[in-house]
Structure 1
Amino acid sequence: MNDIPQRGVARTAQLAKLPLGVAGRATLGLGKRLSGRTAADVQAELSQRTAEQLFAVLGQLKGGAMKFGQALSVFEAALPEESAAPYREALTKLQEAAPPMPASTMHRVLDEQFGRSWRDRFQSFDDQPAAAASIGQVHRGVWADGRAVAVKVQYPGAGPALLADFNQLSRFAKLFGRLSPGLDVKPLLAELRARVTEELDYTLEANSQRQFVTAYADDPDIVVPRVVASAPKVVVSEWLDGTPLSQIIAGGTPLQRDRAGELLALLHFSAPQRAGLLHADPHPGNFRLLSDGRLGVLDFGAVARLPNGTPEPLGRITRLVLDGDVEAVISAMQAENFIRPGIDIDAAKVMDYLRPILEPLAEPEFTFTREWMREQAARIGDPRNEAARVGRMLNLPPEYLLLHRVTLGSIGVLCQLGSTAPYRQIAEQWQPGFKV
């Protein structure tokens, strides 16, 4: 364990290099423009070099840096296409890969959590990790009863590392914000940091997973692997085979894309009503499309606890906007503090701001695309636009922050998939207040 402080220093040093690297590339770019290269050529090269450095560093780190990179990765669809290409491959790598911890370290964690005879619980155990996440890695094994299992083991020192990473990353929020037009990175960092304590407790994660298992038992569309055993820093679940959504995004068929998008939306809308929880980490590495067409759902460390389901006012306000009932929309938004007391705001402009965002629920079917997300990001993210000015006058109550972030992340994945599905029908079935 003595190497943890040294690794923390190295992580901080790596993160600290990022702004210096960007500054250096900006100087290099100026020199190349003066030497006769076009601004477009220089910008393309700078984008590629920035992506390579930024995500090489994030990809080498665990903890908060990787978690933040994964959170940003679902917003890749909002990047302008001329800038997106250099980032896309590096972003995708963050969704499922991280350097493994040594087998001896992993064995020590299992000794502490399950006792030194932990191998007796398994018929076999693979020391080579099958996957890695921000605060732990997954090993494949066979449980004593013959079931194939996934063993998620937390990295030693993950807690202090997470907090240190978030403290460091917050200093560079402006730099990271360049990747996602319209995304305010500081609240995203703050919200992710606030969930650290919960995610470090694998017992809590296992309990959340059990709630999902119960809610979706024998479901024809969604499958959640059963928890076999758990401890504060280890979770053992049934192994789930399938095609990761990152692969479907990269090269899936239209049928796979549509099916995955529809089931992601079904999970998002139905989970609060069925499980009292919302899966709050919607990056593609956490989902699999199974051979039988079901959606496999993994990693329940980050959840939103909604024991009463999704708040009814969200569905009601959505329906009122789509119905064009201006007075009722403003009244409802004021009652829920989306419009703060004393704020004088043009009702028609509020409708103009909201209606395009809700377009996916306006028609029987909708196709999410990167182009649509880029349009929305530019519309509400450019301070010169009227929509951006209206957006700054609106308020997001704290109790809606996590739900808002998860919804944006889910939409980002749907746009990466480019899926077409009956999203309005799903909302009518599961979103309280949406259907009269």
Structure 2
Amino acid sequence: MRGAAMKLGQMISMDAGDILPPEFTQILARLRDQAHHMTARQLDEVLTAEWGVQWRARLSGFQGTPIAAASIGQVHRGRLPDGREIAIKIQYPGIARSIDADVDNVATLLRVTGLLPRELDLGPLLIEAKHQLHEEANYLREAWMMERYGELVGKDRAYLVPLPIPTLTTERILAMDYVEGTPIEAVAFAPQETRDAVAQALAQLVLRELFEWGVMQTDPNFANYRWQETTGRLVLLDFGAAREVPSVTAGGYHRLLMAALDGNRDEVRTAAVDAGFLGSAAASKHRRVIDEMIDVILAELGKPGPFDFGDRAFLGLLREQAAILAGDRTTWHLPPTDTLFVQRKISGTALLAARLKAHVDINRMIASYRDRGPAAMTDFSPKQ
């Protein structure tokens, strides 16, 4: 599987063990960093089309076996004539042309299996999903995003963003510095202090994206992070899914989070409806169940000390209550697309923190944004 279908599998595989059987999760997890590789002939055809017949002359070394392969392209190591080690992401042939059909096929699968009610209008989400995937398939845009993210991170020693190499980057090839790092999931075996530091850096990144930068890398695939034990830095990879966060979306999250910090159930419910998380029909018809769910969440957030992401016992109760809402298909609701993409990043970050069994003082981090609302969006439109 490649393209949109593979991305769906990657997202499903990020389950933290609360929904899927562990055996199924392990199988799907291979999608995060493995896929069928291009043949040597296909690889040569892409490189020749993008770099010319003498493409090997641009490098002093090229590793033919990819070091990673995902939904849109595969990554190879290379070396410049000056000895600089680089990573080269090469797009699968025809992948951009297949995006629209892939998304439509996934939507058809959801429909024919009855997983979604026919009354639910997927149109806006499908349009945005296609747009997002087409942007991810434009490596010139991703290189620009990578540069901008590097500027936003600046001198913050918690993060490291590779530098793209403009002279070797095209719409279908992205060349960048090769950065050493340990797969983020391996940190699960590190000491508690290290796991906590990694999770804190991940959570702080989300808050900065949402409330300071006005732009967010919305793909929380675990393969998009690495950890450098020697420097204590989180390596950020893959900026194809970086997108602007409208101020109204960030404002909705700000109101919701501040209400949660205050333990105000009514305000949380109202903010959830206003932000589009919750449909007004469900909020009215199932208010008791929704209030019970909010109370569970507020009780967890209200516990003293750092939040224990590894303690997920409360999710069982939430699943039981959510099943009641899910059973009433007449009140199903599709949140705004910007909210869905932001929530994808937030949920994925929480899942990774759960995988690490990390302890993070998330309340203190959120509270630091109480008196400074969401910033205006950063101009993240690639310059022409």
Q: TM (normalized to structure 1)?
A: 0.72
Q: In 1, Cα distance between the equivalents of 2:312 and 2:269?
A: 29
Quickly say closer, same or farther: Cα 1:146–1:425, change in 2 above 3 A: farther
CA contact (8 A) 2:34 2:69 kept: yes
Q: List aligned pairs for 1:34-433, cutoff 5 A.
A: 61-79=1-19, 84-173=21-110, 190=126, 192-229=129-166, 230-249=169-188, 251-291=189-229, 292-306=231-245, 308=247, 311-326=250-265, 328-329=267-268, 332-333=271-272, 335-336=274-275, 344=284, 350-357=290-297, 361-363=301-303, 364-369=305-310, 371-372=312-313, 374-375=315-316, 378-383=319-324, 392=331, 396-430=335-369, 433=373
Q: Which has the higher helix share?
A: 1
Q: What SS does the corresponding residue of 2:60 show, helix, strand or coil?
A: strand
Alignment RMSD, CA only? Answer: 3.5
Distance 1:394 1:164 in 2: 25
Offset from partner CA, 1:125-180 (integer Å, 9 cap, x none): 112111111110001011233321110010011023333333333343389999xx
How far the C-alpha of 1:208 sits from its partner, in A, is 1.2
The more displaced of 403-412 and 231-240 is 403-412
Identity %: 26
The letter for the 1-side match of 2:346 is T
Structure 1: gaps (5+ residues): 1-60, 179-183
Matched residue of 2:253: which SS?
helix
Give the conservation status (yes or no) of the 8 Å contact 1:272–1:307.
no
Q: Is the 8 A contact 2:289 2:321 kept in 1?
A: no
Distance 1:164 1:404, change over 3 A: same
Q: Distance in 1 between matches of 2:299 and 2:80?
A: 47
Q: CA deviation at 1:272?
A: 3.6
Cα displacement (A) at 1:365: 0.9
Q: Is the 8 A contact 2:301 2:307 kept in 1?
A: yes
C-alpha separation in 1, matches of 2:209 and 2:186:
25
Change (3 A) 1:86 1:259: same
- Give me the whole-angstrom Cα distance separating, in 1, the residues matched to 2:114 and 2:351: 16
Using the alignment, how far apart are the partners of 1:372 and 1:107 within structure 2? Answer: 51
CA contact (8 A) 1:321 1:351 kept: no
On the 8 A contact 1:273/1:310 being kept in 2, the answer is no
Q: Which amino acid aligns with 2:109?
A: F
1:65 and 1:346 mapped to 2: Cα distance? 34
- Does structure 2 retain, via aligned residues, the 8 Å contact 1:357–1:376? no
Query: CA 1:118–1:286 in 2, change beyond 3 Å: closer, same or farther?
Result: same
CA drift of 1:64 comes to 1.9
**In 1, distance between residues paired with 2:329 and 2:292?**
9
> Is the Cα contact below 8 Å between 1:225 and 1:239 reproduced in 2?
yes
Match of 2:380 in 1: none
Quick check: 1:227–1:236 contact (8 Å CA) kept in 2? Answer: yes
The structural deviation recorded for 1:68 is 1.0
Pair 1:359–1:211, CA change in 2 (3 A):
farther
2 CA distance for matches of 1:391 and 1:403? 25
The 1:167–1:395 alpha-carbon spacing in structure 2 relative to 1, beyond 3 Å, is closer
Per-residue deviation at 1:262?
1.6
> How far off its partner does 1:356 sit?
3.2
Q: Which deviations, in whole Å up to 9, do the C-alpha atoms of 1:37-84 show, x marking residues without a partner?
A: xxxxxxxxxxxxxxxxxxxxxxxx2222221111111124322xxx52
Q: C-alpha separation between the residues in 1 aligned to 2:317 and 2:54?
A: 55
Once the two structures are TM-superposed, the CA of residue 93 in structure 1 deviates from its matched residue by: 1.4
**CA distance 1:242–1:403, change in 2 (3 Å):** same
Structure 2 letter corresponding to 1:239 = Y
Is the 1:75–1:412 contact (alpha carbons within 8 Å) kept by the matching residues of 2?
A: yes
| Mapped contact 1:254–1:419 kept (Cα < 8 A) | yes
Please state how far the C-alpha of 1:345 moved relative to its aligned partner.
5.7
Amino acid at match of 1:240: V
Q: Relative to structure 1, is the Cα distance of residues 358 and 236 closer, same or farther in structure 2, using a 3 angstrom cutoff?
A: farther
Cα distance 1:327–1:161, how it changes in 2: closer, same or farther (>3 A)?
Answer: closer
Q: Which amino acid aligns with 2:361?
A: P
Distance 1:163 1:334 in 2: 31
Q: How many residues align?
A: 362
- In structure 2, distance between residues paired with 1:303 and 1:373: 32
CA contact (8 A) 2:225 2:236 kept: yes
The 1:284–1:131 alpha-carbon spacing in structure 2 relative to 1, beyond 3 Å, is same
The alpha-carbon distance between structure 1 residues 227 and 219, as it changes in their structure 2 partners (threshold 3 A), is same
Q: State the secondary structure of the residue aligned to 2:64.
A: strand
Separation (CA, whole Å) in 1 of partners of 2:286 and 2:71: 44
Deviation at 1:261, TM superposition (A): 1.6
Q: How far did 1:105 drift? A: 1.6
Contact 1:77 1:370 in 2 (8 A): no
Change (3 A) 1:327 1:197: same
Q: Give secondary structure in 1 for the equivalent of 2:67.
A: strand
